[in-house]
Amino acid sequence: MTERLPVGIVVPTRNSRQLLTNHLQMLKGLESHVFEVVAVDSESTDGTLELLEQHEGKTQWTALAHPRGLYQSWNFGISRVAAAYTYISTVGDSITLEGLQHLVRVAEEFQADVVISKPVFVNEGGGKTEETFWPIDDILTSLRINQPVLLSRFEAFVFAMVNTGGAILGSSASNLYRTSMLKSRPFPVNFGTVGDGGWGMMNSFEARIAVTPEKFSTFLHHEKSYSLEEYRVNDLPLILLKAARETLERRILEHPEELDLIKELRLMEMANLEESALVCQMSLEKVRNSSMPWILNPEGWKARARRVTLRKQLGELKREALARLQRT
pLDDT at 57: 58
- What does the DSSP assignment read for 224-253? -SS-GGGG--TTHHHHHHHHHHHHHHHHHH
- Cα–Cα distance, 208 to 115 (Å, whole number): 9
pLDDT at 34: 95
Contacts 24+ apart (CB under 8 A), 194-197: 194/167, 194/233, 194/236, 194/240, 195/70, 195/71, 195/74, 196/167, 196/169, 196/172, 197/166, 197/167, 197/168, 197/169, 197/240
pLDDT at 244: 94
pLDDT at 58: 59
In degrees, rounded to 5, the angle at the alpha carbon of residue 34 between the alpha carbons of residues 30 and 36 is 110
pLDDT at 214: 97
- Cα–Cα distance, 208 to 114 (Å, whole number): 6
The model's pLDDT over 291-310, given as tens digits with 9 standing for 90+, comes to 777 677 777 788 889 999 99
- Cα–Cα distance, 326 to 274 (Å, whole number): 22
Describe the strand order of the beta sheet including 94-95 as a list of residue ranges.
94-95, 217-220, 120-122
Closest CA to 15 of 53, 47, 37, 38: 47
The class of domain 5-231 in CATH terms is: alpha beta
Burial of 223 from C-beta contacts in 10 A (0-12 / 13-18 / 19+): exposed
Phi and psi of 169, rounded to 5°? Answer: -80, -15
- Cα–Cα distance, 80 to 148 (Å, whole number): 29
- Cα–Cα distance, 64 to 297 (Å, whole number): 54
Task: Please state the domain extents for the chain.
Answer: 5-231, 255-327
pLDDT at 110: 98
- Amino acid at the residue 147: Q
The model's pLDDT over 183-240, given as tens digits with 9 standing for 90+, comes to 999 999 999 889 999 999 999 999 999 999 999 999 987 565 555 566 566 888 999 9
pTM of the model: 0.92
Q: Backbone dihedral region of 11: left (phi > 0), alpha (psi from -120 to 50 degrees) or beta?
A: beta
pLDDT at 137: 95
In degrees, rounded to 5, the angle at the alpha carbon of residue 153 between the alpha carbons of residues 162 and 188 is 65
Residues of the chain with pLDDT under 50: 1
pLDDT at 227: 58
- Cα–Cα distance, 12 to 23 (Å, whole number): 12
Phi and psi of 58, rounded to 5°? Answer: -70, -40
pLDDT at 18: 87
Phi and psi of 174, rounded to 5°? Answer: -115, 5
pLDDT at 226: 57
> What letter does residue 2 receive in the DSSP assignment?
P
